């Protein structure tokens, strides 16, 4: 006989006025856009009607066209925003999620993925391995470091040019001497930073060949054994070589008008470490290892939702006198119940 | 007085494995026969923690008076669904994935109310557990 649970907690409730409270900002924006768009269009039309027969200059025509465009865009956006509010009015979050066009909101029967919320990374298995089944691709480096360096270089060139021009214009006095010292210090700092970055990048690309990381199967299924093969060719002495299996949780949240992301490492398993450091790496002595692991069936599977993720990857860290390389090889973990 | 929702999982277990059937039933009291506009029942997961909430609906059913022979939505109603393979219940550091059965009642007058019964899909995964999750069995150089 089932035991009845009576309602004592009341959560997730909303009133017909939730439209005004929960989404008040959206509603205000929508209404303001409708008002602004209507106002601009009305003013433009009224101006056009009053001026009929008088004739228009090109400037006036341009102003009317721009006004029409701005008014039309505002009105359309306002109507769309208001329509969105009207559509969600009085509907529960479950009903909205269920009818959402997002895959996550679809019921299981309509969801094409065999594992809802587990990312479908078939792109990770399109490269066959030599020793094991698949060669994993490395996660591409973000473009931001390159952009930072490029913007730094542009700013540096601009400042150097301005200082140089100031020296040439002022001539030989104390101001020029001061500008010359600043110019020298700034140029020296800039040159040191950019040359070291360049040397590091060139060393990394010339002293180390692309890493080969192969896996026996993909995705990794919790509770089942797994094998990983690592091969790194290069021409340098390694001070540190470590391969880790890492799991992170990622959370995206809104704080005021900012969208922030927090990442926490929840698992960090050492799979392989080269203990005989410094390890001489050359053509005849590549860094090679084949690691067999057993995973518990209580391993969390990969998870991907719009604001939250559980991400697994293999991290390889190599460090030498002139080179430091940290690479991530993403992978997907399926639950043991598969 | 607000309506009372009596919701239960008929085959209650400590946890459900993917593929298990989840059988639920609900009944609504303390409200007039024709005072209910609609009743929604759903089986869903949602996230808790640092990030903004994500929600995924696995099963959803909306009933209105025309769906019942006598138009009375208060009567005992049963529904069941097969548990999906993922996402499994999870209690991480900044992320929790929780499953629940939810019934939401929309009265013709007054505010809507809902009631949840949480349940676990999978044994429950905690990254902080002392159990050794990964063991290197062999390394060949």
Looking at the complex, does the CB of residue B111 fall below 8 Å from at least one CB of chain A?
Answer: yes
Residue B14 confidence (pLDDT):
92
d(CA B121, CA B89): 5
Report pTM: 0.73
Q: Which two tokens stand for residue A7?
A: 């309602």
Residues 6+ apart with CB under 8 A from A314: A136, A213, A228, A243, A244, A245, A246, A271, A328, A329, A331
Shortest distance between the Cα of A201 and any Cα of chain B, in A, equals: 29
Flag the least confident range among A42-56, A198-212, A242-256. A42-56
For residue A250, pLDDT beyond 60 = yes
d(CA A247, CA A264): 9
Q: What is the pLDDT of residues B82-118, one digit of tens each?
A: 999 989 999 999 999 999 999 999 998 888 899 999 9
- Does A25 or A107 have the greater pLDDT score? A25
B-contacting residues in A 265-284 (Cβ below 8 Å)? 266-267, 269-272
Residue A11 confidence (pLDDT):
35
Assess contact for A312 and A231: CB atoms under 8 A.
no
Which of A184-193, A280-289, B111-120 has maximum average pLDDT? B111-120
Looking at the complex, does the CB of residue B109 fall below 8 Å from at least one CB of chain A?
Answer: no
Looking at the complex, does the CB of residue B1 fall below 8 Å from at least one CB of chain A?
Answer: no
Q: What is the pLDDT of residues B1-57, one digit of tens each?
A: 788 999 999 999 999 999 999 999 999 998 888 889 999 999 999 999 999 999 999
Nearest to A131 by CA among A281, A288, A261: A288
Name the region of B124 (left: φ>0; alpha: ψ -120 to 50; beta: rest).
Answer: left
Looking at the complex, does the CB of residue B96 fall below 8 Å from at least one CB of chain A?
Answer: no
Residue A14 confidence (pLDDT):
40
Closest in B17, B97, B137 to A303, CB measured: B97
For residue A13, pLDDT beyond 60 = no
Q: What is the pLDDT of residues A73-100, one digit of tens each?
A: 888 888 887 777 777 776 777 777 766 5
Measured in degrees and rounded to the nearest 5, phi and psi for residue B32 equal -70, 160
For residue A12, pLDDT beyond 50 = no
Measured in degrees and rounded to the nearest 5, phi and psi for residue A217 equal -155, 160
For residue A24, pLDDT beyond 70 = no
Report strand pairing: A333-334 vs A220-221: parallel
Closest in B52, B59, B136 to A291, CB measured: B136
d(CA A327, CA A183): 38
Assess contact for B92 and A249: CB atoms under 8 A.
yes
In the block, tokens 């009341």 appear at A10
Shortest distance between the Cα of B95 and any Cα of chain A, in A, equals: 7
Answer whether A301 sits within 8 Å of B88, measured CB to CB: yes
> A17, A89, A108: which to substitute to probe chain B, counting the most B Cβ within 10 Å?
A108
Residue A229 confidence (pLDDT):
93
The DSSP result for A240-251, as a single string, is EEEEEEEEEEEE
Instruction: Report the chain B residue with the minimal C-alpha distance to residue A294.
Output: B135
Confidence at A109, pLDDT banded by 50, 70, 90: very low
d(CA A13, CA A314): 44
Q: Write a three-state SS string for A28-67.
A: HHHHHHHHHHHHHHHHHHHHHHHCCCCCCCHHHHHHHHHH
Burial degree of A18 (CB within 10 A; 0-12, 13-18, 19+): middle
Residue B51 confidence (pLDDT):
92
For residue A51, pLDDT beyond 70 = no
Write down the mean pLDDT value for chain A. Answer: 77
Q: What is the mean pLDDT of residues A219-231?
A: 90
Residue A8 confidence (pLDDT):
32
Assess contact for B75 and B138: CB atoms under 8 A.
no
A-contacting residues in B 36-55 (Cβ below 8 Å)? 40, 42, 44, 47, 49-55
Q: What is the mean pLDDT of residues A61-74?
A: 81
For residue A9, pLDDT beyond 70 = no
Confidence at A59, pLDDT banded by 50, 70, 90: confident
Closest in B10, B93, B133 to A2, CB measured: B10
């Amino acid at each position: 006989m089932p035991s009845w649970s009576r309602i004592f907690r009341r959560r997730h409730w909303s009133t017909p006025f939730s439209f005004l409270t929960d989404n008040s900002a959206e509603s205000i924006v929508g209404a303001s856009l409708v008002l602004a768009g209507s106002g601009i269009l009305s003013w433009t039309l009224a101006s056009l009607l009053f001026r009929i027969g008088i004739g228009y200059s090109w400037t006036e025509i341009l102003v009317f066209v721009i006004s029409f465009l701005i008014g039309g865009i505002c009105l359309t956006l306002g109507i769309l925003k208001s329509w969105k509010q009207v559509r969600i009015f009085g509907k529960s979050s479950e009903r909205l999620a269920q009818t959402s066009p997002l895959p996550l909101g679809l019921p299981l029967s309509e969801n094409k993925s065999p594992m809802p919320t587990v990312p479908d990374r078939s792109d990770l298995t399109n490269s066959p391995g030599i020793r094991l089944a698949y060669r994993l691709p490395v996660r591409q480096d973000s473009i931001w470091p390159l952009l930072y360096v490029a913007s730094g270089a542009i700013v540096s060139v601009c400042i150097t040019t301005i200082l140089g021009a100031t020296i040439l214009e002022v001539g030989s006095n104390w101001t020029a001497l001061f500008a010359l010292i600043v110019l020298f210090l700034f140029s020296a700092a800039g040159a040191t930073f950019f040359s070291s970055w360049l040397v590091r990048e060139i060393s990394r690309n010339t002293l180390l060949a692309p890493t080969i990381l192969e896996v026996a199967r993909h995705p990794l299924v919790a509770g089942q054994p797994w094998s990983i093969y690592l091969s790194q060719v290069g021409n340098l002495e390694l001070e540190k070589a470590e391969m880790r299996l890492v799991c992170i949780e990622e959370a995206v949240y809104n704080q005021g008008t900012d969208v922030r992301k927090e990442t926490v490492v929840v698992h960090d398993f050492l799979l392989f470490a080269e203990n005989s450091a410094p390890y001489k790496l050359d053509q005849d002595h590549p860094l090679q290892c084949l690691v067999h692991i057993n995973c518990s069936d209580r391993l969390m599977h990969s998870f991907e939702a719009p604001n939250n993720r559980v991400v697994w990857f293999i991290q390889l860290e190599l460090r030498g006198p002139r080179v430091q390389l940290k690479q991530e090889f993403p992978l997907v973990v399926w639950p043991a119940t598969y | 007085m607000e309506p009372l929702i009596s919701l239960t999982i008929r085959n209650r277990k400590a946890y459900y494995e993917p593929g298990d059937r989840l059988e639920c039933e609900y009944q609504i009291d303390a409200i007039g026969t024709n005072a209910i506009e609609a009743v929604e029942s759903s089986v869903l997961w949602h996230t808790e923690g640092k990030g903004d909430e994500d929600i995924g609906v696995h099963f959803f059913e909306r009933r209105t008076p025309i769906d019942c022979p006598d138009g009375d939505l208060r009567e005992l109603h049963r529904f069941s669904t097969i548990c999906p393979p993922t996402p499994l219940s999870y209690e991480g550091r900044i992320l929790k994935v929780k499953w629940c059965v939810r019934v939401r009642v929309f009265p013709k007058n007054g505010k809507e109310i809902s009631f949840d019964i949480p349940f676990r899909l999978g044994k429950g995964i905690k990254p902080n557990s002392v159990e050794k999750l990964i063991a290197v069995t062999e390394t060949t150089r």
